Amino acid sequence: MLKSSPFKWLLVALAYLAGSCAQQSDGPDEDRVIISIWTRWSGFEKDVLDEIIKDFEQEQAGIKVQMFTMGTPQKIMLATAGGNPPDLAILSGPYIASYAENNALTPLDTMVAKAGIEQDDYYPVFWDAATHRGHLWALPISAGVTALHYNKKMFREAGLDPDRPPRTIAELEEYNEKLLKRDAQGRITQMGFLPDKPDWWVQYYGYWFGGKIWDGESQLTLSDEANLNSLHWLASYPERFGADTLENFRAGLGSPASAQNPFFTEQVAMTIQGVFLSNFLEHYLPDDTSLEWAIAPFPSATEDGPPMGLAEGDLCVMPAGAKHPEEAFAFLAYLQRPEVMEKLALGHRKLTPIKEVSASFTEEHPHPYIKDYLALLKSPNLRPHVQLVNANELRNAMRDMFYGVYSGRSEPGAMVERIEPLQQKILDRKLSRWERVEAARLKEWSEQ
């Protein structure tokens, strides 16, 4: 009956496709244990890890490491929930608390103790970023911190001392005015500083005013004086420069990860950036242009105290239900060796979360201001991403707050009054849900 019909071909095709789909998994026989690691790296960042994997595989003949690219960090949750997690995954950002409380990660405490990895060797801020509810959920594998990057040539042209970067927010704004250029129609063509270029950390400006996001227990503190001051500072932008004028200037600026990065095109003289800016420079800056730049700690509201910075690094987690926890941890422990970490950091041009670095690391590091960065890392005033189970919602709400105020549409006080109670309510609920399972979870975790 099928023979005479053109539909036969459809059936055959269906069967073929279904068949080829069914056997898409493991390839040829492999007597090594295959562990998978997910990253969001591509290009040279991926190449470095590839090299490290090769070294590791030579040392550990029984393990093969496969690297996969994940779309977004949320995919780790999707895969873990779906029962097909990778053995390891590399994250950056405020995910640890919510992933851990949702039981998506394996606590590493026992394995870390057994492997002799010492907390004291690490900068506290990076170790803390991997800890939640008294357990360790990740190991830091690279480190970065934000700093002020400024253009010395533009400083000179504006009559500013190129070796005297601003030290307070007030000074930053003084410089901003001096570096401001407008055309005949009053349109802005150049600025000293724009808080939303890049916009990766706009929710954290309160830190530089001495603010905190929450009290560490259960209360958000978005409306404390320091945070309000930072919002008033941001609200002064549309007031001083004109909301529309500012918006027109902003809209003409390119993406930070491109040759049109306004800092590269010298449309903006100062920017808040991390240690990887030098990568961007090498990648995107056209060969025939050079940029005369330097770094300094990003200025705080007051000059006293050690410099403030947002610490941000890559964390390596082991999702719950990883198929080969022992082999995966062997690789993770390998990544923690100082020389391996330095190799990764050199390749990625980042810093290491370990306090001690070898002399050759500083010498070989391609970043021209690596010493300044190492000094900044030693500041006791570094802060990590907010470590809350509702970090994601809070982050979005705080960004809304930033943009509402910065665009001149909303007044700081009103904005905080609208956003804080709502976020507090969300946090309260998460905490009350946590209380219900707390005892069981903590017991489960300490047994693992």
Partner 1 sequence: MTQQERQNLRNGLLFISPWVVGFLAFALYPLLASVYYSFTDYSVLSPPVWIGTENYEELADDPLFWKSMTNTLFFAALSIPLSTVCACALAIMLNFRIRFQSIFRTIFFLPALVPMVCLGVIWMWMLNKQMGLVNLGLSPVLGDSVPNWLEDPAFTKLGLVIATLWCLGHSMVIYLAGLQEAPVQLYEAAEIDGAGFWRKISTVTLPCLSPYIFFNTIMAIIGSFQTFAVPWVMMKGEAGPEQSMLFVATYIYINAFDNWQMGKACAVALILFIMIAILTLSVVKLGERKVHYQ
Partner 2 sequence: MTSHRLSLLGKVTLYTLLLLCAFVFVAPFIWMISTSLKTLPETTAMPIQWIPSSLEWRNYPDAIEAMGDFWLYAWNSLYICVITVIGTVLSSALAAYGFSRIEWRGRDKVFLLVLATMMIPFPVIMVPVYGLFKDLGWVGSFKPLWVPALFANAFSVFLLRQFFKTIPNELSDAARIDGCNELRIFWHIVLPLSKASLATVALFTFMWTWNDYLGPMVYLINEEQFTLSLALQSFVDPSGGKGLNMWHHLMAASTLITLPLVILYFFCQKVFVQGINATGTKG
Write a three-state SS string for 163-220: CCCCCEHHHHHHHHHHHCEECCCCCEEEEEECCCCCCCCHHHHHHHHCCCCECCCCCE
Q: Rule CB under 8 A: which of 226-255 touch partner 1?
A: 244, 247-248, 251-252
407 binds, among partner 2, partner 1, none (CB under 5 to 8 A by kind): partner 1
Q: Which residue has the tokens 């930053």?
A: 172
Q: What is the DSSP letter of 304?
A: -
Residue selected from 56, 276, 284, 403 as contacting partner 1 according to rule CB under 8 A: 403
Q: Which residue has the tokens 């978005």?
A: 222
Residue selected from 35, 88, 90, 104 as contacting partner 1 according to rule CB under 8 A: 104
User: For 437, phi and psi rounded to 5 degrees?
Assistant: -110, 0
Helix H or strand E segment including 330: helix 325-335
Burial tier of 7 (Cβ tally within 10 Å: 0-12, 13-18, 19+)? exposed
Q: Which residues contact 170 (CB under 8 A, 6 or more apart)?
A: 301
Interface residues toward partner 2, by CB under 8 A = 1, 5, 7, 10-11, 13-14, 17-18, 21, 24, 38, 40, 42, 68-72, 75, 78-79, 81-84, 93, 251-252, 254-255, 257-260
Asked whether position 81 contacts partner 1 by CB under 8 A, the answer is yes
Q: Rule CB under 8 A: which of 50-79 touch partner 1?
A: 72, 74, 77-78
Q: Would you say 371 or 429 has its CB closer to partner 1?
A: 429
Look up residue 275 and give its amino acid: V
Residue 47, CA atoms < 13 Å, CB-side half-sphere: 5
Q: How far is the CB of 222 from partner 1 (least distance, A)?
A: 15
Name the residue among 121, 396, 147 with its Cα closest to residue 276.
147
Asked whether position 256 contacts partner 1 by CB under 8 A, the answer is no
Q: Which two tokens stand for residue 352?
A: 């290491």
58 binds, among partner 1, partner 2, none (CB under 5 to 8 A by kind): none
Q: How far is the CB of 13 from partner 1 (least distance, A)?
A: 18
Q: How far is the CB of 85 from partner 2 (least distance, A)?
A: 9
393 binds, among partner 2, partner 1, none (CB under 5 to 8 A by kind): partner 1
Q: How far is the CB of 229 from partner 1 (least distance, A)?
A: 22
Asked whether position 414 contacts partner 1 by CB under 8 A, the answer is no
Q: Which two tokens stand for residue 34?
A: 């295959």
Q: Which residues bind partner 1 (CB under 8 A)?
A: 72, 74, 77-78, 80-81, 98, 102-104, 244, 247-248, 251-252, 320, 390, 392-393, 396, 400, 403-404, 407, 409, 422, 425, 429, 433, 436-437
